[in-house]
Amino acid sequence: MKENRMNVAAHHWWPLALAEEVSAEKPLGVRCAGRELVLFRDQGGVARSLEDRCAHRRAPLSLGKIMPGGLLACPYHGWRYEGATGRCRMIPNLSAQEIVPAIYRVENFAVIERGGLVFVWAGAVDEAHERGLPPSGLLEGFSTAPHRGSTLLTIGQKDFVTALLDSPDLLFRLDDVAVVPFHPHGDPSINGGVLAVERAADFALALAARGQALADYPFRLRISAVLGTGTARLDLTTEAGAQVFSVLVASAPAADSVTAVHWRATAAGFAVRDRVDAAALLALVPQAAAAWRGPAAFHHSLEAPST
Ligand code: FES
């Protein structure tokens, strides 16, 4: 069962960090579907990802150093690894005439940066293809979005996307705005590998004061989620269609029941909650999420072009 989950996770591009979190100064250790990975930038500024375990004695490479030539040095005995291939290119106590054997390597992973996020293909690097990446329209405007954050939540990643689609207030706070549960505008639609659903939203204080939902909600929240991974864009508009706020929410399965969340927003006022109300989550009846998880969505995730 665990093996199957790992295999499914391996055939996706997972957003594992904000672009700013991956640097040429300090490696970043991350987890994806139970695997330990390290992210860093090489001397050309290109984001790289390797297995976070030295081929010598398994020390975590994320505790090591990025050397001036862009190789990642293990913190223990200093073997140095190339990000593009995972090969060990230098061992400190070898003479200049000795060559590092090609079998001294760690697994490397394909990396793509889009929309200010670093996506990693969690499977074999020669099986990576661009299908399944978020389309450019979903990421548009976020690479320079000034408000951003990263956090870990104690919730499974599929449950996270379920709540995001059907009850986003369980996961997020947006200053002065409340998304009205169980009030979608129309049915979810699937287009180009993205599921979209619109929900009614109201001023939070007004909604609380009334104690009940009314028909004349001033806002609409459009949620667009990529099939497969659930990387999502949330657009808040007025009823007349004027844009108020947009946020890109990227989630990835760090481990069983732990989701890593990275977000970029066009304005202040957005926050991920510290914890998810487990009782409310249990009571949630998936609607849009049922379409996101369903057989039609699975078929689209295999067939949809990336842009
Ligand atoms: S454990 Fe990494 S160089 Fe020895």
Mutating to test ligand 1, I would choose from 62, 65, 79 the residue with most ligand atoms within 8 A of its C-beta, which is 79
**Going by CA atoms, what residue is nearest to atom 3 of ligand 1?**
77
Report pLDDT for 123: 87
| 79 close to ligand 1 (CB < 6 Angstrom) | yes
- This prediction has a pTM of 0.90
Report pLDDT for 297: 53
Backbone angles phi, psi at 75, to 5 degrees: -75, -15
Is residue 304 very low, low, confident or very high in pLDDT (cuts 50, 70, 90)? very low
Report pLDDT for 5: 43
Is residue 211 very low, low, confident or very high in pLDDT (cuts 50, 70, 90)? low
Cα angle 61, 64, 69; round to 5? 105
Cα dihedral 127, 43, 31, 299, rounded to 10, equals -30
Give the CA distances from residue 176 to residues 152, 189, 201, in Å, rounded to whole numbers and listed in that order.
24, 28, 10
Q: Order of strands across the sheet with 35-41?
A: 28-32, 35-41, 47-51, 108-109
Count CB atoms within 10 A of the CB of residue 21: 16
| 81 close to ligand 1 (CB < 6 Angstrom) | no
Mutating to test ligand 1, I would choose from 38, 72, 77, 94 the residue with most ligand atoms within 8 A of its C-beta, which is 77
Going by C-alpha positions, the residue among 180, 156, 182 that lies closest to residue 284 is 182
Distance 130 CA to ligand 1 centre (A): 34
For residue 306, pLDDT beyond 80: no
Going by C-alpha positions, the residue among 130, 151, 155 that lies closest to residue 226 is 130
As a whole number, mean pLDDT of residues 161-167 equals: 94
Report pLDDT for 128: 87
As a whole number, mean pLDDT of residues 177-201 equals: 84
For residue 305, pLDDT beyond 70: no
Least confident of 27-31, 126-130, 191-195, 263-267: 126-130
Look over the chain and give the mean of its residue pLDDT values, rounded to a whole number.
Answer: 88
Tokens matching residue 211 = 């104690």
Give the CA distances from residue 167 to residues 6, 185, 239, 280, in Å, rounded to whole numbers and listed in that order.
27, 14, 20, 9
Is residue 212 very low, low, confident or very high in pLDDT (cuts 50, 70, 90)? low
Q: N- to C-terminal Cα distance for the chain? A: 33
Q: Order of strands across the sheet with 270-272?
A: 147-153, 258-265, 243-255, 232-238, 219-226, 194-203, 177-191, 172-174, 270-272
**Own/partner pairs, 241-244, CB within 8 angstroms, 24+ separation:** 244/219
Distance 68 CA to ligand 1 centre (A): 19
Distance 105 CA to ligand 1 centre (A): 12
As a whole number, mean pLDDT of residues 170-184 equals: 82
Q: What is the pLDDT of residues 87-130, one digit of tens each?
A: 999 999 999 889 999 999 999 999 999 999 999 998 889 888 88
Distance 110 CA to ligand 1 centre (A): 24
Residues 219 and 236: their CA atoms lie apart, in Å, by: 7
For residue 206, pLDDT beyond 50: yes
**Going by CA atoms, what residue is nearest to atom 1 of ligand 1?**
57
Q: What is the pLDDT of residues 41-66, one digit of tens each?
A: 999 999 999 999 999 999 999 999 99
Select the more confidently predicted residue: 282 or 34: 282
For residue 290, pLDDT beyond 60: yes
Select the more confidently predicted residue: 165 or 239: 165
